[in-house]
Amino acid sequence: MNIPMLDLKAEYALLKDEIEPAVCAALAACQYIGGPNVKAFEAEAAAYAGVKHAISCASGTDALLIALRAIGLQAGDEVITTPFTFVATASTVVMCGATPVFVDIDPRTFNLDLAQVEAAITPKTQAIVPVHIFGQPVDLAPLKALCAKHNLKLIEDSAQSFGADYDGRKSGAYGDIGCTSFYPSKNLSTFGDGGLILTDNDKLAAELRVLASHGSRIRYHHHVLGYNSRLDEIQAVILRIKLKRLDDFNARRIAIADFYNRLLDGAVETPYADGKGRHVYHQYTILSDRRDVIQKALTEAGIACAVYYPVPLHQQEMFAATHGHVRLPVTERTAQRCLSLPISPMLQDAQIEQVAKVIKSAA
Ligand SMILES: Cc1ncc(COP(=O)(O)O)c(C=O)c1O
- Four-point Cα dihedral 242, 187, 100, 176, nearest 10: 50
Return d(Cα 305, Cα 289) in angstroms, integer: 16
What angle do helix axes 291-300 and 349-362 make, rounded to 10 degrees?
A: 130
The Cα 264–Cα 341 span in angstroms is 12
CA distances in angstroms from 346 to 11, 26, 278, 294, 349, listed in the order given: 7, 27, 20, 23, 10
Are 286 and 176 found together in one domain?
no
Q: How far is the CA of 85 from the centre of ligand 1 (A)?
A: 9
Tally of domains within the chain: 2
Among 57, 181, 227, the mutation site with the greatest number of ligand 1 atoms within 8 A of its Cβ is 181
CA–CA separation, 157 vs 197, rounded Å?
10
Same domain? For 58 and 128 the reply is yes
Which of 189, 215, 243 marks a domain boundary?
A: 243
114 Cα–ligand 1 center, Å: 22
**CB of residue 82 inside a 6 A radius of ligand 1:** no
* Ligand 1 binding pocket includes 60 (Cβ within 6 Å): yes
79 lies in the same domain as 225: yes
Looking at the structure, tell me whether residues 217 and 261 fall in a common domain. Answer: no
Q: Are 80 and 125 in contact (CB under 8 A)?
A: yes
Whether residue 142 contacts residue 121, with contact meaning beta carbons closer than 8 Å, is answered with no
Cβ–ligand 1 distance for 83 under 6 Å, the answer no
Strands (E) in the chain, as ranges, are 53-57, 78-81, 99-102, 125-129, 153-157, 165-166, 169-170, 177-181, 195-199, 216-218, 221-222, 277-278, 284-287, 338-341
Q: Is the CB of 308 under 6 A from ligand 1?
A: no
Pocket test for ligand 1, best of 183, 191, 229, 235 (most atoms within 8 A of CB): 183
Name the residue range of residue 335's domain: 246-362
User: Is any atom of ligand 1 closer than 6 Å to the C-beta of 59?
Assistant: yes
For residue 228, the tally of other CB atoms under 10 A from its CB is: 10
Cβ(181) to ligand 1 under 6 A? yes
pTM: 0.98
Q: From the CB of 193, is ligand 1 less than 6 Å away?
A: yes
DSSP secondary structure of 182-225: --TTSSS--SS--EEEEES-HHHHHHHHHHHBTTEEETTEE-S-
Among residues 101, 126, 120, the alpha carbon closest in space to that of 319 is found at: 101
**Cα distance between residue 346 and residue 156, in whole Å:** 28
In a domain, 294, yes or no: yes
> Is 156's C-beta closer than 6 angstroms to any atom of ligand 1?
no
Q: What is the CATH number of the domain that holds 297?
A: 3.90.1150.10
Answer with the one of 185, 213, 243 that is the final residue of a domain. Answer: 243
182 domain residue, yes or no? yes
Distance of CA 165 to the CA centre of its chain: 14
Amino acid at 221: H
Q: Is the peptide bond before 309 cis (omega within 30 degrees of 0)?
A: yes
The reply to whether ligand 1 has any atom less than 6 angstroms from the CB of 356 is no
Q: Please say whether the beta carbons of 59 and 39 come within 8 A.
A: no
CB 175 less than 6 A from any atom of ligand 1: no
Q: Tell me the best of 86, 105, 282 to mutate to test the pocket of ligand 1, counting ligand atoms within 8 Å of each CB and taking the most.
A: 86
Closest C-alpha residue for ligand 1 atom 10: 60
Q: Is the CB of 162 under 6 A from ligand 1?
A: no
Please report the pLDDT score of residue 1 as a whole number: 74
HSE, side-chain direction, 13 A CA sphere, residue 225: 6
Say if ligand 1 is within 6 A of residue 342 CB: no
Residue 61, ligand 1, Cβ within 6 A:
yes
| Residues 263/358, Cβ–Cβ less than 8 Å | no
Q: Please check whether residues 59 and 163 belong to one and the same domain.
A: yes
Chain centroid offset of residue 191 CA:
17
Q: Calculate how far, in angstroms, residue 1's C-alpha sits from the geometric centre of ligand 1.
A: 30
- Look at strands 53-57 and 221-222 and give their pairing: unpaired
Q: Do residue 91 and residue 103 come from a single domain?
A: yes
Q: Which of 243, 270, 302 is the last residue of a domain?
A: 243
Q: Is residue 1 part of a domain?
A: no
CA-64 nearest atom, ligand 1: 4
**Whether residue 252 is found in the same domain as residue 235:** no
Half-sphere exposure of 236 (CA within 13 A, CB side): 28
- According to DSSP, the residues that pair with 269 across neighbouring strands are 287
76 and 66 Cβ atoms separated by less than 8 Å: no
Residue pair 215/70 in contact (Cβ under 8 Å)? The answer is: no
pLDDT tens, the chain, 363 aa long: 799 999 999 999 999 999 999 999 999 999 999 999 999 999 999 999 999 999 999 999 999 999 999 999 999 999 999 999 999 999 999 999 999 999 999 999 999 999 999 999 999 999 999 999 999 999 999 999 999 999 999 999 999 999 999 999 999 999 999 999 999 999 999 999 999 999 999 999 999 999 999 999 999 999 999 999 999 999 999 999 999 999 999 999 999 999 999 999 999 999 999 999 999 999 999 999 999 999 999 999 999 999 999 999 999 999 999 999 999 999 999 999 999 999 999 999 999 999 999 999 999
